[in-house]
Structure 1
Amino acid sequence: MSEPMHKDQDPDLLIDTDFEAGQDNVQVLGLDVHNPVFFVSAVVIVGFVILTLMFGETASDFFNWLRPAITNMFDWMLLIAGNLFVVFSLILIFTPLGSIRLGGAEARPDYGYMGWFSMLFAAGMGIGLMFFGVSEPLSHYASSFGGVVMENGVRTDWAPLAGAEGDAHAARLNAMAATIFHWGAHPWAIYAVVALALAFFSYNRGLPLTLRSAFYPLLGERIWGWPGHVIDTLAVFATLFGLATSLGFGAEQALAGLNFLFGIPVTETAKIVLILFITSIALASVVAGLDAGVKRLSEINMVLALLLMLFIFFFGPTLVIMTGLWENTVAYVTNILPLSNPFGRTDTNFLQGWTAFYWAWWISWSPFVGMFIARVSRGRTVREFITCVLVIPTIVSIIWMSTFGGSAIDQVIDHGNTAVADSDQAVMLFEMLKSYPLTQIASFIGIVLVMVFFVTSSDSGSLVIDTITSGGIEEPPVAQRVFWATFEGIVAIVLLIGGGLGALQAAAVTTGVPFALLLVVMMWSIWKGLNEERKALKS
């Protein structure tokens, strides 16, 4: 079997295979690497770094072309896949399959709810909420969801939501509904599908905690051959580039905050130094381990995020935020169908520039977040797992966006603070905080929050890649995690140099599209596995 059997596992339900986690591994310089997944992944990524540095200008032009080309071509596929993940997750909640417990009938959770939620939230989308919490609602308010579709400042067609032309309140609701759509049920359903597959086939069937195991009901023993190698290698690429995108956003915003507070110039050199500095902190967290490192930092993140959100709530437009919580939720629920419709759309900027990119980004993150969630979710029932992973973070996202986005729109529209809307995306949060008391303290907390999110993402990302490239061993050598954490920072630096955030987004989209097809097939595999488990338990 892949790992020593947990005492709660039913031995009759474990998959009978001669494969053991790490059996194909080789020892290289103290690393326990799975051949060929580690070597192919490492060689391709090193080659990518070298070529991007050698052909900087050409690489920049290519990356800036690549992202819109892919989202324009595959927007319909990404939206359909996103809808399928949500529907599949909801079905699992309301069917008898939801009563199956991850790890066996007697298994109990390794972490309490607070620690569990903290790690889910920090790993899932912490940096993104900081970067887009203010900027995205303002962007949607100023463009298509003010009631009309605008292309280069020219009206082209009506927006897909209820018309809001001349109605500022309706325009706000449309903007908030569009924003919450990108941070609500759809991305968390993507994470839930991958995490459930990994947790179930590892903890209930005794397979290695790696992506190939999720396809055992469909591929059987072939997952130990080249099909499994391809799946795991693609998962490494998706994780690394999806993570690099988030680290790039985090570096941009942290440096913008440092410039805002201390006048540190925003230069390529400064970005590189900042990424290196934060990566070094992440390395210390890697060495400390999961409980002492990621768990502790995630809980610090939750406290800081709550403090910043409460600060904005009480010192900002409290009544507007409170009213908006309900109204924004209703707007999100009532508009989720037109927003998720992939066909007959004329709002191409929103469809391709926002939604298709987000879905590809979330999908590219899904091996990382999914495996991390799986590692900390043993002992939960499928119903509890899906409900908490899908519903709780969606509620948190609604509260977060209503607080930050609602305050930003209120400042711009009701108080004429146009400097917020006119700022660069990375600066909008700090520009908004200018109107609050204790601006310096609040801004500093914001910078620290971004940096800690950066560290937890890098740490947990290296843990996931390390697990995949070691053949599913849950506790591979620390030196191996150090290797991958270092390369995550290097890839983020190289992509920023070779094309800025556009290059980072192109890399995430490129790996996210093929992985979307794998996740659709994965749902079928989960369904088969859960049904087999239920029949076995009833017999």
Structure 2
Amino acid sequence: MTDETPQGIPEPEGPVELIETDYEIGQDNVEGSVGPFGFDVHNPVFLISGLSIVLFVFYALVFREQATEAFGALRPWLTSTFNWFFLGAANIFVLFCLALIVTPWGSVRLGGQDATPDYSYAGWFAMLFAAGMGIGLMFFGVLEPVYHMAISEPLGVPSPIAEDGTIIEANVEAAKRMGLAATIYHWGLHPWAIYAVVALALALFSYNKGLPLTIRSAFYPIFGERVWGWTGHVIDTLAVFATLFGLATSLGFGAQQANAGLEHVFGLPNNVEVQVVLITLITVVALVSVLRGLDGGVKVLSEVNMVMAAALLLFVLLVGPTMVILSDFGAGLVSYLGDLVAFSNPINRVDTDYMNGWTAFYWAWWISWSPFVGMFIARVSRGRTVREFVICVLIIPSLVCVLWMAVFGGAAIEQVLADPVNSPVKAQVIDSYNPPLSLFAMLEGLPLAGLTSTLGIILVIVFFVTSSDSGSLVIDTITAGGKVDAPVPQRVFWCTFEGAVAIVLLLGGGLTALQAMVISTGLPFTIILLLMCVAIGKGLASEPR
């Protein structure tokens, strides 16, 4: 062990009491070596993950029929077999985060007691939302509330729409509340608790303990020096796979929705070929943002996108049935809190389609995204106390997501119930189930549909770019051993292959393939997150308060 601290890693502030040896790490543990193509090869992590992704892309392209069949069978088996595990783990993450808010550990400041925040609240929230859930909010904001109200029947609440398309008035109010409550459950406390666990672990062990900003560092209290060996290599490699496939799923959703919008507004053909072109072009734009870095690329795009998203949200709220939307927002939130335990219980459920087809997939997706979003949040959260951090990451974003779903989903639900025969939303979500077109179908029922649909397309594309470039920076950091200034060619490599994975998954089975891979990588990483909670407790216990 040497006294040197790796480039880009902060010095530990004050004495470290977590273990008998200190947290300083040798250069040979983190620097790796620079290869012939300018890659910062951190031991085996970059080589194993990079070569595996290249081979996966090759396999999915060459053996498309075989890959399609495999992807189609994988998702239902995983969700039906491990639904109890995903739901149980997510419950633990929520309870753990809530406990941190009320314990004395909440006064610990990330970066030391004298640290100050690097970003204002406005900049911090903008980057958090754009990277964390942007594409998902656009894709599912209309689709999910309408689907749960009319089709999936969460917790056994019956649909208000009969088989002949008529409205069953006796079922309307309960179904509306349940449609929003079931959606809020997927976008509220649970996913943000998953993100908060990873982000807090990374920030604590990097800023307070002086370890590299990479997933393995969080496990030093558990595995000790073994985190610099194969134990750590496996953890970081799993993080790369989870991040890449979680990100590819979102990029696939974004490409399909952008293509649907372009067809709806401009008549552009809606097919896989066009989606491949879209992913390629947007990946090129993301490369430019990646090369500009966090402040010059991701932060600027995130802030611009948040302004446009807020404008679209206000438009739908004010032009749509405003008072009904606000009333449904409150009723849905109350119903969510009242049914939270029932939603979280995996035992003896009558709504297995909802639990397996939606909840289990969502938890795996959020867990796959957690290294990406968690590391991104950690990089912009120095200077916050643990209590401030958890409240802001867990509660405030949840409320904003709830508001988004209530406005877009509430407006769509009212359109369906007001005119079920002619409603474009009913035609695209209930009758034919065309998820990428659901947002534009709702906007079609409001004034200035052409303008707002165009704005929606732009939002999807920019969310696409911010997800891709911020994801590239995160994977780059993991494979470079925690350094935030890895070589440019390495950033280009990961940004390019993120797009390539999204393309081959679309070619090899579309949404089914995307969802199958995100669940398969989310499963082992759930175990990583559970161990991470233990490591956070050990780390916080050693911090001065």
Name the TM-score, length of structure 1 as normaliser: 0.95
State how far apart, in whole Å, the 2-side matches of 1:421 and 1:491 are.
Answer: 33
Is the 2:154–2:351 Cα contact (8 Å) retained in structure 1? no
Q: Shift of residue 82 of structure 1?
A: 0.3
* Structure 2: 5+ residue stretches without partners: 429-433
Is the 1:191–1:369 Cα contact (8 Å) retained in structure 2? yes
State how far apart, in whole Å, the 1-side matches of 2:29 and 2:265 are.
Answer: 49
The question of 1:386 aligning with 2:390 is answered yes
Q: Shift of residue 170 of structure 1?
A: 1.1
Give secondary structure in 1 for the equivalent of 2:542: helix
- Paired letter, 2:534: W
The question of 1:478 aligning with 2:488 is answered yes
State how far apart, in whole Å, the 1-side matches of 2:487 and 2:113 are.
Answer: 31
Aligned position for 2:445: 435
Aligned position for 1:158: none
- Paired letter, 2:31: Q
State how far apart, in whole Å, the 1-side matches of 2:304 and 2:459 are.
Answer: 9
Aligned position for 2:130: 122
Work out which of the residue numbers 202, 227, 240 in structure 1 matches 2:244.
240
* Structure 1: 5+ residue stretches without partners: 156-163
State how far apart, in whole Å, the 2-side matches of 1:67 and 1:4 are.
Answer: 40
Work out which of the residue numbers 59, 62, 77 in structure 1 matches 2:70.
62
Work out which of the residue numbers 422, 425, 430 in structure 2 matches 1:420.
425
Deviation readout 1:424-451 (Å, 9 max, x if unpaired): 1110111111121111110000000000
State how far apart, in whole Å, the 2-side matches of 1:364 and 1:190 are.
Answer: 10
Is the 2:8–2:485 Cα contact (8 Å) retained in structure 1? no
The question of 1:81 aligning with 2:111 is answered no
Q: Shift of residue 167 of structure 1?
A: 2.5
Aligned position for 1:34: 42
Deviation readout 1:212-249 (Å, 9 max, x if unpaired): 00100000010000000000000000000000000000
Work out which of the residue numbers 504, 513, 517 in structure 2 matches 1:503.
513
Work out which of the residue numbers 304, 309, 318 in structure 2 matches 1:305.
309
The 1:294/1:386 distance shift into structure 2, 3 A limit, reads same
Q: Shift of residue 8 of structure 1?
A: 8.3
Give secondary structure in 1 for the equivalent of 2:35: strand
Is the 1:136–1:179 Cα contact (8 Å) retained in structure 2? yes
State how far apart, in whole Å, the 1-side matches of 2:94 and 2:162 are.
Answer: 35
State how far apart, in whole Å, the 2-side matches of 1:315 and 1:126 are.
Answer: 23
Is the 1:184–1:397 Cα contact (8 Å) retained in structure 2? yes
Is the 1:3–1:207 Cα contact (8 Å) retained in structure 2? no
Is the 2:11–2:210 Cα contact (8 Å) retained in structure 1? no
The 1:475/1:122 distance shift into structure 2, 3 A limit, reads same
Is the 1:360–1:513 Cα contact (8 Å) retained in structure 2? yes
Work out which of the residue numbers 101, 104, 108 in structure 2 matches 1:96.
104
Aligned position for 2:411: 407
Aligned position for 1:160: none
State how far apart, in whole Å, the 1-side matches of 2:524 and 2:533 are.
Answer: 15
The 1:9/1:143 distance shift into structure 2, 3 A limit, reads same
Q: Shift of residue 28 of structure 1?
A: 2.9
Is the 1:37–1:469 Cα contact (8 Å) retained in structure 2? yes
Name the TM-score, length of structure 2 as normaliser: 0.94
The question of 1:131 aligning with 2:104 is answered no
State how far apart, in whole Å, the 2-side matches of 1:518 and 1:12 are.
Answer: 24
The question of 1:368 aligning with 2:372 is answered yes
The 1:36/1:314 distance shift into structure 2, 3 A limit, reads same
Is the 1:173–1:328 Cα contact (8 Å) retained in structure 2? yes
Q: Shift of residue 198 of structure 1?
A: 0.3
Is the 1:71–1:356 Cα contact (8 Å) retained in structure 2? yes
Deviation readout 1:438-469 (Å, 9 max, x if unpaired): 11110000000000000000000000000000
Query: Percent identity, aligned pairs only?
Result: 58
State how far apart, in whole Å, the 2-side matches of 1:243 and 1:121 are.
Answer: 15
- Paired letter, 2:494: W
Q: Shift of residue 32 of structure 1?
A: 1.4
